[in-house]
Amino acid sequence: MFFRLALGNVRKSARDYAVYFITLVLGVAVFYAFNTISDQASFLSTDAREMVQAVGQLMLFVTVFLAFVLGFLMVYANNYLVKRRKQEFGLYQLLGMTRGQVSLVLFLETALASLASFVVGLLTGVLLSQLLVFVTAALFNDRVTNFSFHFSPFAALFTLGCFVLIFVVMLAFNLRMLRKVDLADLMSASRKNEQVRVRSLPATIVLGLVGVGLIGWAYYRLTRDGLPLDGTVEFPPFLVTTLIVCAGTLVFFYGLSGLLFHVSRAFHGAYYRGLNMFTVRQLSSKVNTVSVSMAVISFILFLAIMAVSGGMGICSGLDADTRKANPYDASVVFIYNQGTTIEEGQDTPAQQAMANAGIDFSSFSSQVEYLNVYNPGQVEGGEDLSVSGFAKASGVSPDIPGLSTSTDFSALTYYLMTQSDYNKLRSLNGLDPIDLGESGYLILSSVNASMANFDNAVMAAGTQISLGGRTLSPISSTADAGPSATPADVGAWFDAVVVPDELVSGAELANSIVDMNYSVDSAKGDERYFEETAKLSEMPNTEGQYRFISYGTRNDAIQSSQKTSGMISYLAIYIGFVLVIACAAILAIQQLSSASDAIPSYRLLAELGCPRSMALRSLLVQTLAFFLLPLIVAVAHTVVALRQLIRIISLIGSISWTNAIVTTAVAFVAVYGAYFAITYVTSRGLVTMHSSRARE
């Protein structure tokens, strides 16, 4: 009997459960699909397989976190469904059912709805996971091989475990609510309307202005201070800024209901036209009821937008920047101890070590170039080749915006490189050689965008430098920031100054570099390369002249970049999608609950002769405003924060944000707009049905 009653209630309340059902279906589908990533690795190449499996392991931990988030939000939203049925539960008790029996009916209803949503969600997730295989391959620049339909028992059981936990927590809260309410309260629930606490006009204006002022102050602080690059110095001010914007958002939404009501009344002509007065009062009542939750939803939407747009923006440019920063098929870098020098015509310690090891890169490479980078300190005038020295000579500020305050960049010294070695780099990149003449120099800018701006300003100012008793002038108005400015595929570089060959005589060696481009395919070239470099690890550094050897290939760097971008992309899409679903579901259920509570008002409008189209237009405005209010605040937060994120990321490399922002906007509008449409159509059905009864 109880099962038939619960099944009948679910069928009868199908409209009420629609948003709840859709949300759980989407949640199950997304949880299952994204946790099949490890299984998808079997359809990819060997190189991509390990990266995808690593991402899959990370997804498990992220899923547990998102399950807690989704569970909390669904519990919050589910309370509205239970509150709507308080009178029904009271009627059951009045007819002789015990609280335990009512609780059993509620348990069966929740179980049936959850089971149905899990089955449908799992089927949807299985189909989605088949498509996700090709998305995964695209993210990792790989191709799908031997594809076949695949079902993951592990992902299904893991998803089931997460949603059983959500179900148990949600049911516990529902049963607790029923136990705390007596029969009289249950039976009178439908007659208890939300009281709109209309505050005084000065109070609401003050609350609204204080909220806006706090938000504006937080925006100013973030624009002035930027995001924290140095945790010990910059994080405390950033934490204060975060607390200010949180407080401002809460205060703004707390005062918004009264502010809407009082400000609207100030425009008498518009306020008393049509159903505007009814619309404003209904909207003020809703905002007043859920002001805190709207502020929380606004923050969550902000996190979702930032996660997707920021993550996709970073990944969109990461691969291109990696290829730009690794212009050669492979490199080897020897880093010397302080005081290492060589005489003219003498082999470097690196050349001696490779000769002793019997290394021959030319057997599988079409181009192999050996070059050196020098410290300028032992050259006359070399101590002035620092950021502060160039700033003093050029008049350009050494305070370079965007660089970490934890490092004194003004004291850092540029490397020296000979014209001959620089032309070797140009040859590797297919460029013509340059001629500095007797008194020319060129800056190589290979660190980041901020240093490139400083270097360009120095070159544009025609800054002259004194080196080795000779005065040098720039041969160009801009620094070289292209691939030829990168000495090797591996290692961390500061900027360098290219000078005539004879000026580095007697200078201290900083690095010796071997760059090469293969004459065979990249896979075979990498195999031969690592065979040769393995000989270096077997050779003892008997002279003790070099302290470290680093080596790597372009393919290694690209694969590492793809692994990073793949992880970021998956996390961004996964987290953002789940958070948007949760927020939209809460707003939808809150609006449906409010529309249901307002049915007597719409029935009264129909009895008074109000046209149905006018009432539905009022409902549309209320629903649209209810969805837009937290979204507008979230977008405002995002615009300010994203500008700072773009500024920081641009210091690392040229990252394309347009595609990421457009993609995020389209996906966001699709999900958010779908919930808005479902909510309005469902609310419209409620209002139309009861208005029709009033006209009969």
In a domain, 412, yes or no: yes
Domain boundary at 481, 514, 544, which?
544
Token output for 294: 């709207």
Residues paired with residue 138 on neighbouring β-strands, in sequence order: none
Contacts with 655 (C-beta within 8 Å, 6 or more apart), sequence order: 313, 314, 316, 317, 318, 321, 646, 649
Range(s) of the domain holding residue 139:
1-192
User: Does residue 81 fall inside a structural domain?
Assistant: yes
Burial class (CB in 10 A: 0-12, 13-18, 19+), 637: buried
Q: Is residue 71 in a domain?
A: yes
Predicted TM-score (pTM) of this structure = 0.71
Amino acid code (one letter) for 365: S
Whether 130 is covered by a domain: the verdict is: yes
Letter for the amino acid at 480? D
Q: Is 590 within a domain? A: no
Ranges of the chain whose pLDDT falls below 50: 183-184, 187, 191, 193-196, 198, 404-406
Tell me what pLDDT residue 215 has.
Answer: 92
Q: State the chain's maximal CA–CA distance in angstroms.
A: 106
Query: For position 406, what pLDDT does the model report?
Result: 43
Element (H, E) at 361: none
Whole-angstrom distance, CA of residue 441 vs CA of residue 431: 18
What confidence score (pLDDT) does residue 432 get? 92
The pLDDT value given to residue 200: 58
> Which candidate, 72, 245, 88, places its Cα nearest to that of 169?
72
CA 684 to chain centre: 36
Which of 157, 192, 227 is the C-terminal boundary of a domain? 192
* Structure tokens that stand for 3 in this block: 């099962």
Q: What are phi and psi of 98, to 5 degrees?
A: -80, 165
Q: What whole-number distance in Å separates Cα of residue 232 and Cα of residue 217?
A: 23
DSSP string of 507-522? PEEEEEEEEEEESS-H
Tally of structural domains, the chain: 2
pLDDT at 10 (0 to 100): 63
- Residue 648 has a pLDDT of 66
pLDDT of residue 196: 45
Name the helix (H) or strand (E) containing 586.
helix 554-597
pLDDT of residue 353: 85
Structure confidence at residue 194 (pLDDT): 45
Cα(353)–Cα(508) distance, integer angstroms:
18
Q: Which residues pair with 546 in a beta bridge?
A: 336
Can you read off the two tokens belonging to residue 528? Answer: 């031969």
Q: Is 157 within 8 Å of 120 (Cβ atoms)?
A: no
Question: Of 192, 218, 242, at which residue does a domain stop?
Answer: 192
Say how far apart CA 455 and CA 498 lie, in whole Å. 13
3-state secondary structure of 254: helix
Cβ(367)–Cβ(427) under 8 Å?
Answer: yes
Pick from 557, 574, 560, 562: nearest CA to 137: 562
Could you tell me which residues are beta bridge partners of residue 480?
444
At residue 323, the pLDDT reads 74
Q: Is residue 162 part of a domain?
A: yes
The answer to whether residue 228 sits within a structural domain is no
Closest C-alpha to 287, from 201, 217, 219, 204 = 204
DSSP, residue by residue, 110-153: HHHHHHHHHHHHHHHHHHHHHHHHHHHHHHTT----S------H
Whether 296 and 77 have beta carbons less than 8 Å apart is answered as: no
Q: What's the pLDDT score for residue 587?
A: 84
* Residue 661 belongs to a domain: no
